[in-house]
């Protein structure tokens, strides 16, 4: 798409959306499980299409992991997206249930015409050996984003995704006074970030004293962290690092979708990171599309620009 917008997924493809909306839809009872950007977008578009909508969120507030990401200084504008979507939800007659956990989606298929699973994705810390603690990006943001280091404590960040997740955490913690070692298994940094953004990002990280290692892997040996270059065999030893932050690929949290009876597969849908972990743009787009066109046998990709 030549033009796109996270907040309004119809931007750049207005004609196609108008044409497809001409099809008539019957009113349905719709349950959305998950109150992140995908779930809120699905709830709003389902409501706008005339359906009776219930939105369930396991936490105390809407926003999902995007709300957590907004705690980082350079990602604070994500908070505006959450505010925009949540305020719109609250201004409608969408039934909202917070602090509500769902363990079996098949139960809801008895009470609703359609169930949409938007439960996001999980971060899982991998095993790098014995020694210092290894935590996920989520834990790092919760525990370290607002914590200052007074003694130049060293932290290892393993970035296997090449996204803003590791980049934003590295920048925030470096600004908080930590000595950051950013390790990428690939031969380049931040492969999923645009060149234009990297032109500003990498100099900012360098100015904060972030050390960057390409084509490298991490091994823990007691209190020592060994960073090994997989191309030339060169090794760097970091002594007494306080933790390793593992920014590994996320795992889709699609259990509620997978457990649905096969005969009901047409009535349950999975969207956003629960389908495949990507960015907030894809999450809001899929939520907007599935809610608007529940009755149509339509591939989401057909809603792109010309």
Burial class (CB in 10 A: 0-12, 13-18, 19+), 25: middle
How does DSSP classify residue 3?
Answer: S
pLDDT at 40: 97
269: nearest Cα among 23, 31, 6 = 31
> How far is it, in rounded angstroms, from Cα 270 to Cα 118?
6
Locate CATH 3.50.50.60 in the chain.
129-247
Local structure of 116: helix, strand or coil: strand
pLDDT at 254: 95
The pLDDT profile of the chain, 306 residues, written as one tens digit per residue, is 455 666 677 666 667 666 666 555 678 999 999 999 999 999 999 999 899 999 999 999 999 999 888 888 788 888 888 999 999 999 999 999 999 999 988 888 889 999 999 999 999 999 999 989 999 999 999 999 999 998 889 999 999 999 999 999 999 999 999 999 999 999 999 999 999 999 999 999 999 999 999 999 999 999 999 999 999 999 999 998 999 999 999 999 999 999 888 767 778 999 999 999 999 989 998 999 898 888 665 444 444 444
pLDDT at 209: 97
> How far is it, in rounded angstroms, from Cα 33 to Cα 120?
10
| b (16+ CB within 10 A) / e for 232-243 | eeeeeebeebeb
pTM score: 0.87
> How far is it, in rounded angstroms, from Cα 119 to Cα 57?
9
**CATH entry, 14-122+250-303, from 3.40.50.2300, 1.10.3720.10, 3.80.10.10, 3.40.50.720:** 3.40.50.720
CATH of domain 129-247: 3.50.50.60
pLDDT at 299: 44
Locate CATH 3.40.50.720 in the chain.
14-122+250-303
pLDDT at 25: 64
Burial class (CB in 10 A: 0-12, 13-18, 19+), 30: buried
């Amino acid at each position: 798409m030549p033009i796109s917008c996270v907040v309004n997924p119809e931007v750049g493809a207005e004609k196609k959306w108008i044409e497809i909306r001409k099809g008539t839809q019957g009113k349905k009872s719709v349950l959305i499980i998950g109150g992140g950007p995908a779930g809120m977008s699905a709830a709003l578009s389902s409501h706008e299409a005339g359906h009776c909508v219930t939105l369930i969120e396991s936490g105390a507030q809407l926003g999902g992991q995007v709300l957590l990401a907004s705690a980082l200084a350079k990602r604070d504008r994500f908070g505006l997206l959450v505010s925009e979507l949540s305020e719109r939800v609250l201004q409608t007659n969408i039934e909202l249930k917070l602090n509500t956990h769902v363990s079996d989606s098949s139960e809801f298929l008895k009470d609703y015409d359609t169930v949409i699973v938007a439960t996001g994705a999980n971060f899982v810390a991998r095993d790098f050996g014995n020694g210092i603690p290894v935590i996920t990006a989520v834990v790092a943001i919760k525990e370290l984003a607002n914590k200052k280091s007074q003694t130049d404590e060293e932290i290892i960040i393993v970035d296997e995704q090449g996204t803003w997740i590791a980049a934003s955490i590295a920048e925030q913690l470096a600004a908080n006074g930590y000595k950051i070692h950013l390790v990428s298994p690939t031969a380049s940094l931040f492969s999923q970030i645009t060149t234009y953004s990297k032109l500003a990002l990498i100099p900012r990280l360098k100015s904060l004293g972030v050390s960057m290692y390409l084509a490298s892997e991490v091994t823990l040996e007691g209190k020592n962290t060994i960073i090994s270059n997989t191309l030339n065999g060169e090794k760097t030893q970091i002594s007494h690092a306080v933790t390793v932050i593992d920014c590994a690929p996320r795992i889709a949290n699609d259990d509620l979708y997978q457990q649905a009876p096969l005969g009901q597969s047409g009535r349950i849908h999975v969207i956003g990171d629960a389908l495949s972990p990507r960015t907030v743009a894809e999450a809001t787009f899929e939520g907007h599309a599935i809610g608007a066109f529940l009755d149509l046998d339509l591939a989401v990709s057909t809603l792109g620009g010309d």
